[in-house]
Amino acid sequence: MEKSVTDAEKLVELVAATGHHSLSDFISDYINEPTVPGVCCNPARPNCNYTAMVAPDMDAGFCQKCRSATVRSGLRLAHIT
Ligand SMILES: [Zn+2]
C-alpha cells in the first residue's frame, strides 16, 4: 500500500512552492486575505501538487489535474481556519 501524504507534508510543499521560507511567513502573508494558496490533497494521487488560490476555509476546491474536488487551503492545512 502506498504511503499517504500527510497534511503537514502537503503544507511544507505549499509553503515552499509559494516562495515562503517558513510556515509563519506563509501564515502572516495570508491570514487576512480573501483568497489563499491551496494544494491538491487527493488521497488517490499523493504526488499531485496542483495549487490554486482558494477561500481560506476551502477544503474541497477543484483540482484541474485530478478533475476532483480535492484542493485544500494552506490555512486549513495549518489548522488556522
Ligand atoms: Zn490533484
CA–centroid distance, 47 to ligand 1, in Å, is 8
CA–centroid distance, 22 to ligand 1, in Å, is 23
Q: What is the mean pLDDT of residues 7-20?
A: 95
Q: In this predicted structure, what is the pLDDT of residue 5? A: 81
Please tell me which residue, 71 or 81, carries the higher pLDDT value. Answer: 71
Do residues 49 and 17 lie in contact, with contact meaning Cβ atoms separated by under 8 Å? yes
Please tell me which residue, 3 or 79, carries the higher pLDDT value. Answer: 79
pTM for the whole thing? 0.91
Do residues 60 and 52 lie in contact, with contact meaning Cβ atoms separated by under 8 Å? no
Helix 7-17 to helix 23-30 angle (10° resolution) is 70
CA–centroid distance, 5 to ligand 1, in Å, is 13
In sequence order, the 6+-apart residues with CB closer than 8 A to the CB of 46 are 2, 3, 4, 5
Instruction: Of 69, 71, 60, 1, give the one whose Cα is nearest residue 38.
Output: 71
- Interval 16-72: pLDDT, tens: 999 999 999 999 999 999 999 999 999 999 999 999 999 999 999 999 999 999 999
